[in-house]
């Protein structure tokens, strides 16, 4: 991706939502639209940020903190607020995943995840929500499937 691009989307609603959330966190970003393809045209919505704004660093730190909250072993007993916050992170992670995933051959929602860290976050988040998730390694990454309740038991 070109310098300054945080993300690319195929729908303007998702790009606009990211810009809105970044604005609420005090970081500026903008959406740029372009059309690609020759015979089959499609639109891409890129979210740009200024290189000096620190937005990319902010998102990196947020990812690291969320990963630690979901996947880290707590050294001390967790408070009710920390447990509630972890549950909200788990729900947000799966809400985002279910927006981009589609049905698999088995009929369960499925998603191919290219890196093991993201797959780990989703598996851990699924466990926090008692969501029966299975992971298998496939070419190109990990395949996550949400299993029907009667199969998972």
**Digit-coded pLDDT (tens) for 24-49:** 988 888 999 989 888 888 898 999 88
- Percent of the chain exceeding pLDDT 70 equals 85
CB 44 within 8 A of CB 33: yes
CA distance 65 to 83: 14
Q: How far is the first Cα of the chain from the last one, in angstroms, to the nearest whole number? A: 43
Instruction: Give pTM, 2 decimals.
Output: 0.65
Looking at residue 31, its pLDDT comes to: 93
CA-nearest of 112, 119, 116 to 140 is 112
State mean pLDDT over 79-97.
Answer: 83
Confidence of residue 78 (pLDDT cuts 50, 70, 90): confident
Domain architecture of the chain: domains with CATH? 80-153 (1.10.10)
Looking at residue 149, its pLDDT comes to: 64
- Burial label, 85 (beta-carbon count in 10 A; 0-12, 13-18, 19+): middle
User: Quick one: which H or E segment has residue 24?
Assistant: helix 12-24
State mean pLDDT over 76-104.
Answer: 77
CA distance 39 to 31: 25
CA distance 51 to 18: 17
């Amino acid at each position: 991706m070109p310098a300054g691009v945080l993300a690319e989307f195929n729908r303007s609603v998702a790009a606009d939502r990211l810009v809105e959330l970044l604005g609420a966190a005090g970081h500026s970003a903008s959406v740029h639209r372009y059309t690609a393809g020759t015979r089959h045209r499609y639109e891409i919505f890129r979210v740009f940020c200024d290189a000096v704004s620190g937005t990319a660093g902010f998102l990196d730190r947020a990812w690291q903190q969320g990963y630690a909250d979901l996947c880290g072993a707590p050294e001390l007993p967790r408070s009710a607020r920390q447990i509630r916050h972890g549950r909200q992170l788990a729900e947000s992670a799966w809400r985002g995943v279910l927006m981009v995933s589609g049905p698999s051959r088995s009929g369960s929602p499925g998603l191919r995840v290219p890196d093991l860290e993201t797959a780990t976050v989703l598996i851990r988040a699924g466990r926090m929500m008692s969501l029966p998730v299975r992971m298998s390694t496939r070419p190109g990454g990990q395949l996550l499937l949400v299993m029907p309740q009667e199969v998972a038991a």
